[in-house]
Structure 1
């Protein structure tokens, strides 16, 4: 069975945040953590004491589908059995989360990138979780062709290339300059979750899944080790599959933050020692990350100071190769909308300003009417607010007949402005219609709309997955 994205990757970063409470002495024990040259030396990586030019210290957390330790040694069969993972794995980054820490604040904004996001990357377009394996294989071939015969050198060079390609793909999609990098795999997640004594989570209903090994009751519960891995691995039988799993990962990370920063963990020398040992055995960091400096910068972050979100998406069932493989699907994303979303988390402006309106249709003369064709309460109002922030005159016009996909309608004179609105909202389908009143653009938000303004709590996001806000301040029940 192909093991899907299951790593709650922030273990290390949250351990570091927890370090703010127990000081530099204990953190020095992390000097033995594995390092790799993931961040460009020139112009890359935040230097000690610096505040990054883009306004935020940005950390990429990667969960890799690997059944080996940091030295590339296969995990023993008995460990794989306990993890409920098969012996065969592939080089996929099944979890990608970016932590944005705005300059001068103690808040952490975390956002997930769905593993099947279809993006441009080295070697051509593909799912973002394949960037690692594609670059790893290419570098291994290059080294062998160049005459390298040392297997250890080939493996390390290939791993470095895979990590750097993943970092680059995330930067290209989000517009975020990654300052630091942390990677965990099956073993590290297993050990970190056990070291903190488990993590509190909550499920809306009981669930059982043979593929992941998930077998949980409904309601609040504490999970660790193999059970924690099953909790964040499960996708089968859940609404929205991968999107429900992303929510599981975010809820688990929020709980891990609370647990690491709790007095029960920080005041227990045994737990701290186990936690540090788990990180040293199984986590990979970029070579430029000065942990002691980072702890000093983050002093004062509380367990409730981490907020989670997911990038906006256009289509969760995108048929990207209808000619050759019509059944193959991915998650369609609009890079411009993703960049605007990432910038908004720290109060920044989108990378590019909207295009100027044509002379025949000045911005002041155009009104965007936003209606909601799905069940999410307040969606039309939130999206209308997003458009007002972009300079449009917009208003929510209530509900419309139910439809799955979203649509932007306009008359011929407003084709350019209508296309602009569609792009700002994540690349929505457009349609010219003579029935739209002059001077108006109509936006109809379908049930699967997941662009700017989609998150708001109490409704549903992509695939019918709840979008109740997740923070590290309390436990949110999920599917």
Structure 2
């Protein structure tokens, strides 16, 4: 089990958004928040600075930790209240980047699936493992160097882990992270209770013993352990981790509305509870001047945050030939970088091919409307000639067919679409490649617009409640 109930890292950012509503004086209480040197000394922003990449970027990290920011274990009573066990992994189960474009108040947020398979020190792996890898490596280095102070080893290892996570996100997205915030299980529960709960909506009732989830269909307000279960659940959800990512996003959108509402801003008790929860549980980078940040964020409204997810190639990527049961989320770093850049400006146009490639006919054997046309357009941008598109008889899995003379190009198409099964066939017309997209296809084009929701899913913003699985 890998709990995800740490989405509230962004609660801190939302608190600072509303800071000017009740003055800088109250905000000074946040001086006691835990700090760590996560951002390079030459990489921070000075007061009022407009970052060179066009956006102030905040990395929000949720960690599966049963400790407070100082490393003290949570008590058994607290763990029971949160419905979690005593053991936790050194994983970052929530990774969200807030992009705040220079000169505007339209905040863009995007999620990185925790199982995204990326390059990082020590070899390729899932991005949520960057934290644990760096933590173990640094602790081992210090012990081998003769360091015996456990507190010093633990703190240095945590700093290295946070920096490695930041670096992995930067390498994947091309975004220069300006600030960092981290929470754990307890902070999520406390912040959700401090704001009086968060409004969410489910399309159907659901239960899950592992997370403690037990929800009815329809709109509802959740807080504390229930809110934790809402964003932790992945079992008994059709889309697994991807449904859980949308759960995170709708919860964060609801949190934004609640924090920025008159009911929270006008209630000194709620504001005090919220600041106390942040002080007790959130870790920030050492360079983040919150008072200056509040000044930069004047005018941000509750409806001014839009949520998306990075584009993926294959959600069921079999990355280990020695263990075909091992799966990850395959991503194309170039596509992710273009997506992230496009959130604050025009996306880079696709490169023009040197010469037209073979014709690719695409058939949709699943339920998603417009899928064949989207995939055909993606292949056109990769240099292939668009062929016929349309629907065909329903089948579960996807297939790429081609004649012997186009074996190499057919394999290229299969790879571009996430590693689909290939088949040589004499029935395929000369000069053509045929792609059949099955009902479980989730590669490029499965989501309309890369990081946009799939067909039938409403976009998530902080302006209203969206029902999710």
For normalisation by structure 1, the TM-score amounts to: 0.87
Q: Tell me which residue corresponds to 1:378.
A: 370
Q: Is the 8 A contact 1:315 1:448 kept in 2?
A: no
Aligned partners of 2:342 and 2:280: how far apart in 1? 36
Counting matched residue pairs gives 466
Aligned partners of 2:27 and 2:409: how far apart in 1? 54
Structure 1 319/157 Cα, relative in aligned 2: closer, same or farther at 3 Å?
A: same
Deviates more, 1:288-297 or 1:106-115: 288-297
Q: Tell me which residue corresponds to 1:32.
A: 32
Q: Tell me which residue corresponds to 1:295.
A: 294
Q: Which runs of 5+ in 2 are unaligned?
A: none
> Residue 328 of structure 1 is aligned with which of 301, 326, 329?
326
Aligned partners of 1:3 and 1:442: how far apart in 2? 39
| Alpha-carbon shift at residue 278 of structure 1 (Å) | 0.6
Structure 1 302/436 Cα, relative in aligned 2: closer, same or farther at 3 Å?
A: farther
Q: Tell me which residue corresponds to 2:102.
A: 103
Aligned partners of 1:51 and 1:367: how far apart in 2? 46
Q: Tell me which residue corresponds to 1:397.
A: 389
Aligned partners of 1:82 and 1:280: how far apart in 2? 21
Q: Is the 8 A contact 1:97 1:113 kept in 2?
A: yes
Q: Tell me which residue corresponds to 2:461.
A: 471
Q: Tell me which residue corresponds to 1:12.
A: 12
Aligned partners of 1:19 and 1:193: how far apart in 2? 18
Deviates more, 1:114-123 or 1:24-33: 24-33
Structure 1 446/22 Cα, relative in aligned 2: closer, same or farther at 3 Å?
A: farther
| Alpha-carbon shift at residue 250 of structure 1 (Å) | 1.0
Aligned partners of 1:303 and 1:389: how far apart in 2? 37
Aligned partners of 1:142 and 1:321: how far apart in 2? 29
| Alpha-carbon shift at residue 471 of structure 1 (Å) | 1.2
Aligned partners of 1:23 and 1:450: how far apart in 2? 47
Structure 1 472/452 Cα, relative in aligned 2: closer, same or farther at 3 Å?
A: farther
| Alpha-carbon shift at residue 474 of structure 1 (Å) | 1.0
Q: Which runs of 5+ in 1 are unaligned?
A: none
Q: Tell me which residue corresponds to 1:340.
A: 338
Q: Is the aligned partner of 1:316 residue 2:306?
A: no
Q: Tell me which residue corresponds to 1:192.
A: 191
Aligned partners of 2:177 and 2:376: how far apart in 1? 31
SS in 2 for 1:10: helix
Q: Tell me which residue corresponds to 1:90.
A: 89
Q: Tell me which residue corresponds to 1:221.
A: 220
Structure 1 404/296 Cα, relative in aligned 2: closer, same or farther at 3 Å?
A: farther
| Alpha-carbon shift at residue 431 of structure 1 (Å) | 6.8
SS in 1 for 2:315: strand
| Alpha-carbon shift at residue 4 of structure 1 (Å) | 2.4
| Alpha-carbon shift at residue 10 of structure 1 (Å) | 1.5
Q: Is the 8 A contact 2:352 2:381 kept in 1?
A: no
Structure 1 16/310 Cα, relative in aligned 2: closer, same or farther at 3 Å?
A: same
Q: Deviations over 1:381-410 (max 9, x none)?
A: 444555677787757723233344555667
Structure 1 102/453 Cα, relative in aligned 2: closer, same or farther at 3 Å?
A: farther
